[in-house]
Structure 1
Amino acid sequence: MLDFHQLKQETIDYSKEIGIDKIGFASADVFGELKSRLIRQEQLGYQSGFEKGDPEERAEPERLLPTSQSIISIALAYPSKMKNPPKNEKGARRGQFARASWGEDYHTVLKEKLQLLGAFLQERMPDIDLKWMVDTGELSDRAVAERAGIGFSGKNCAIITPEFGSYVYLGEIVTNVPFEPDEPIQEGCGDCNICVDACPTDALVQGGQLNANRCIAFLTQTKGFLEDEYRTKIGNRVYGCDTCQTVCPINRGKDFHHHEEFEPDPEKVKPKLRPLLRISNREFKERFGRMAGSWRGKKPIQRNAILALGHYKETEAVDDLIHLMKNDPRPVIRGTAAYSLGKIGTPESYEAIAEALASEKDEEVTEEMEKGLDFQVT
């Protein structure tokens, strides 16, 4: 008869050997509160559309593994600071990727850890059933981690661990092994509401409730024209947003460099903006392809870089933006370039917009060109 208590301890010990920073065990019962919350989020229109599965699949482990009895949750810490960050200077303005995209794509790294953990369990139980997931699976990583005692769910909608703050990546294995569950952490945010107050777009409706459609982390990944109200809010972010993490008092001083794979290359995570405008698909893949922030391709990154140049009123980028406005085949890029040229506001910018407007056929682009020209009189 297999001793499941002993197997749990062996699994914990092995997880440390392979570099997992934290591991916890949870029951595979239905996540009833989560299910109700997801249904409510759908009704309110607060979901981004990137979520996988319906509320039932996301909250009922049995739908994913009919024999499920427990869930193993893992966490890997990632750094919050980099050594020698490059300067963001006039004439050489830079964008920024959120910390969750520093280093190698975390999906790849966690997948390797979960596969090792799964192989370890299969050696001891050849007939084991298991299914692992990282972020893109149906189950809510955060709900699993909370139940497994990895951390508590913060008002910023992130799992906050006592050791590493919220700077952790999460993944899980659903299995038919009846592991004894761990106790959830009872600590919370208390009266602190700093993240809710600091959210640039008011995406945090209230503590623990996020309107994903307003979240900069989501908005920077969209491919169409960014709505006007968000254009001044994203600043120089080309992918993701860290505000609700960086303002969190619990995260103060939390900076762990346990995994070489997550170490940031300063020139990649704070790239110069102007070269991004001219980068080819091949160059983009070679330079950024191993980062989580590359998954939507170069178009959203370029659009965000164009907006960032407008945000900085970077006059040195005027010629680059004029070239895009007149020659790029993608309407979103042409139109956004016209908008940012108007924000930069040089005589040359306005002259170029007016000239391009005379021959532009796309209605959305012409609308953006007119917005650009409107900056001339405001």
Structure 2
Amino acid sequence: MPSANRTPKNPKLVASNAPSGAQYWAQLHELGLQAGLDVLGVAPAGVMHRALEQLHNRQSRGLVNGMKFTYLRPERSTNPAQLVDEARTVIVGMRSYAFDEPETQSTDAPLARVARYAWDDHYGHLKASLTQVAAQLRIDGHRATVFADDNSIVDREIAYLAGLGWFGRNANILVPGKGSMMVIGCIVTTADLPIATPLEDGCGTCVRCQPACPTGAIIEPGVIDANRCLSWLLQKPGIFDRTHRVALADRIYGCDDCQTVCPPTKRGGSQPAMSNHVSFIDAVSWLHLDDNALEAACDGWYVHGRDMTWVRRNLLIILGNIASPTDEAVIEVVRRYLSHERAELRAHAVWVAARLGLNSLLHFDDPDELVGEELAHLPTLRGDL
């Protein structure tokens, strides 16, 4: 096994005697399991024609909603051969993030919920596991480059092609016996390895994930409308769509609903929570943090431009959904954000104040257009107040 402290560089030339074939794959597979991967498979390094067609289709139908990621350069993100010279195959590895809910101390403070995949640096662990396999490939004379949580490749399609799972109705990859709570990464390599056969659909007539989506974002089996998907709306910069603010409830990062109702995922079980797992955060406390402290607190999250405005925006909406209007700490933070220098935050604070019945705090003379739009469309008092 290669040293964990030093990863060899990709060779300039692939060794003429570099190993290949089924026996070599069996060795790499075992190494991947020892390194912490739950499942591994091999896909061809050719163009992923179906994924390319789907990316263009989603864009033409207006379902992308400003999302970049693999949509930015679809011809590249669907062609692994462009990523590594002389690439022959793609080794795909997945690690489970299905953990039990960690214990949360009892508190009256409004708590914001974090999606399971962000409880820990699961992609960091995944990349470390894949790097061990890539290091061995390089030692053996192959080129091998790791991609994890990377816009360079459509990871779900490559996992499907590697025979690791089928596409669920919720557009996630469902791994037999484990479900969909898995992070996906891969190694594009020059090694000639046996290609897996994709799995047949295993959902049957089940469509439980579709009605479970809080905004109806699964508009047809396997098709997500990013205009409605809370996971994307939480990451998208700008004003949060008023239509979906109430549905956001207490979510601060990600949404697990379409996975938690999925029968194969529920049958897959879960592991005991780790001591470092964080599933809820104190919304008011985070709203008092400065940029540096807040950025450190949500290290590992995707935040557009690393601009903490969008994290604060989301926290404010959560206050409007779950906070008590008699909580002095909440009243103080709403008052503060109604006078914030960023108009986007003042605008969302207006919505929060109205939801909590704190209209006396509003500044109806705010000259900003964004704030004016919110003042012109004040929500009614929250139904449970």
Q: Following the alignment from structure 2 to structure 1, what is the Cα–Cα distance between the partners of residues 21 and 164?
A: 20
Q: Following the alignment from structure 1 to structure 2, what is the Cα–Cα distance between the partners of residues 64 and 293?
A: 23
Tell me whether 217-226 or 294-303 shows the greater mean CA deviation: 294-303
Residues 281 and 229 of structure 1: CA distance in aligned 2, closer, same or farther (over 3 Å):
same
Within 5 Å, which residues of 2 pair with 1:208-227?
Answer: 208-227=222-241
Q: Following the alignment from structure 2 to structure 1, what is the Cα–Cα distance between the partners of residues 348 and 290?
A: 19
Contact 2:86-2:190 within 8 A present in 1 as well: yes
Q: Following the alignment from structure 1 to structure 2, what is the Cα–Cα distance between the partners of residues 157 and 312?
A: 30
Using the TM superposition, give the Cα deviation of residue 297 of structure 1 relative to its aligned residue in structure 2, in angstroms.
Answer: 4.6
1:51 counterpart residue number: 69
Amino acid at match of 2:73: D
1:375 counterpart residue number: 380
1:110 counterpart residue number: 126
Within 5 Å, which residues of 2 pair with 1:99-248?
Answer: 99-104=116-121, 106-125=122-141, 128-248=142-262
Contact 1:236-1:304 within 8 A present in 2 as well: no
Using the TM superposition, give the Cα deviation of residue 293 of structure 1 relative to its aligned residue in structure 2, in angstroms.
Answer: 5.3
* SS of aligned partner of 2:219: strand
Contact 1:28-1:69 within 8 A present in 2 as well: yes
Tell me whether 186-195 or 226-235 shows the greater mean CA deviation: 186-195
Identity of aligned residues (%): 24
Q: Following the alignment from structure 1 to structure 2, what is the Cα–Cα distance between the partners of residues 113 and 329?
A: 44
Using the TM superposition, give the Cα deviation of residue 72 of structure 1 relative to its aligned residue in structure 2, in angstroms.
Answer: 0.3
Using the TM superposition, give the Cα deviation of residue 265 of structure 1 relative to its aligned residue in structure 2, in angstroms.
Answer: 4.2
Amino acid at match of 1:362: D
Amino acid at match of 2:55: L
Q: Following the alignment from structure 2 to structure 1, what is the Cα–Cα distance between the partners of residues 45 and 303?
A: 33
Contact 1:165-1:250 within 8 A present in 2 as well: yes
Using the TM superposition, give the Cα deviation of residue 273 of structure 1 relative to its aligned residue in structure 2, in angstroms.
Answer: 1.6
Contact 1:309-1:340 within 8 A present in 2 as well: yes
* SS of aligned partner of 2:184: strand
Using the TM superposition, give the Cα deviation of residue 370 of structure 1 relative to its aligned residue in structure 2, in angstroms.
Answer: 3.4
Within 5 Å, which residues of 2 pair with 1:58-97?
Answer: 58-87=77-106, 91-97=108-114
Within 5 Å, which residues of 2 pair with 1:261-272?
Answer: 263=274, 265=276, 268-272=278-282
* SS of aligned partner of 2:281: coil
- What is the RMSD of the two structures over their aligned residues, measured on CA atoms? 2.2
Unaligned runs of 5+ in 2: 1-16
Cα shift readout 1:78-137 (whole Å, capped 9, x = no counterpart): 1342232344x6x41211111111112x33222222222111111112xx2233211223
The alignment's TM-score, normalised by the length of structure 2, stands at: 0.87
Residues 3 and 309 of structure 1: CA distance in aligned 2, closer, same or farther (over 3 Å):
closer
Q: Following the alignment from structure 2 to structure 1, what is the Cα–Cα distance between the partners of residues 206 and 42?
A: 29
1:323 counterpart residue number: 336
Contact 2:160-2:173 within 8 A present in 1 as well: yes
Cα shift readout 1:154-177 (whole Å, capped 9, x = no counterpart): 110101111321011000111121
Q: Following the alignment from structure 1 to structure 2, what is the Cα–Cα distance between the partners of residues 265 and 304?
A: 23
1:281 counterpart residue number: 291
Amino acid at match of 1:320: V
Answer 1 or 2: which has greater helix percent: 1
Q: Following the alignment from structure 1 to structure 2, what is the Cα–Cα distance between the partners of residues 130 and 227?
A: 42
1:363 counterpart residue number: 369
Contact 2:235-2:303 within 8 A present in 1 as well: no
Residues 192 and 235 of structure 1: CA distance in aligned 2, closer, same or farther (over 3 Å):
same
Cα shift readout 1:10-33 (whole Å, capped 9, x = no counterpart): 101111221111110111232122
1:19 counterpart residue number: 36
Residues 102 and 251 of structure 1: CA distance in aligned 2, closer, same or farther (over 3 Å):
same
Q: Following the alignment from structure 1 to structure 2, what is the Cα–Cα distance between the partners of residues 255 and 369?
A: 47
Q: Does residue 305 in structure 1 map to residue 326 in structure 2?
A: no
Q: 2:354 aligns with which of 332, 342, 357?
A: 342
Q: Following the alignment from structure 1 to structure 2, what is the Cα–Cα distance between the partners of residues 164 and 297?
A: 36
Contact 1:103-1:264 within 8 A present in 2 as well: no
Amino acid at match of 2:25: K
Q: Following the alignment from structure 2 to structure 1, what is the Cα–Cα distance between the partners of residues 323 and 125?
A: 39
Amino acid at match of 2:115: A
Q: Following the alignment from structure 2 to structure 1, what is the Cα–Cα distance between the partners of residues 258 and 44?
A: 30
Cα shift readout 1:263-299 (whole Å, capped 9, x = no counterpart): 3646x4301221122111222233332x435674532
Contact 1:24-1:182 within 8 A present in 2 as well: yes
The alignment's TM-score, normalised by the length of structure 1, stands at: 0.88
Q: Following the alignment from structure 2 to structure 1, what is the Cα–Cα distance between the partners of residues 281 and 102?
A: 15
What is the aligned residue count?
A: 359
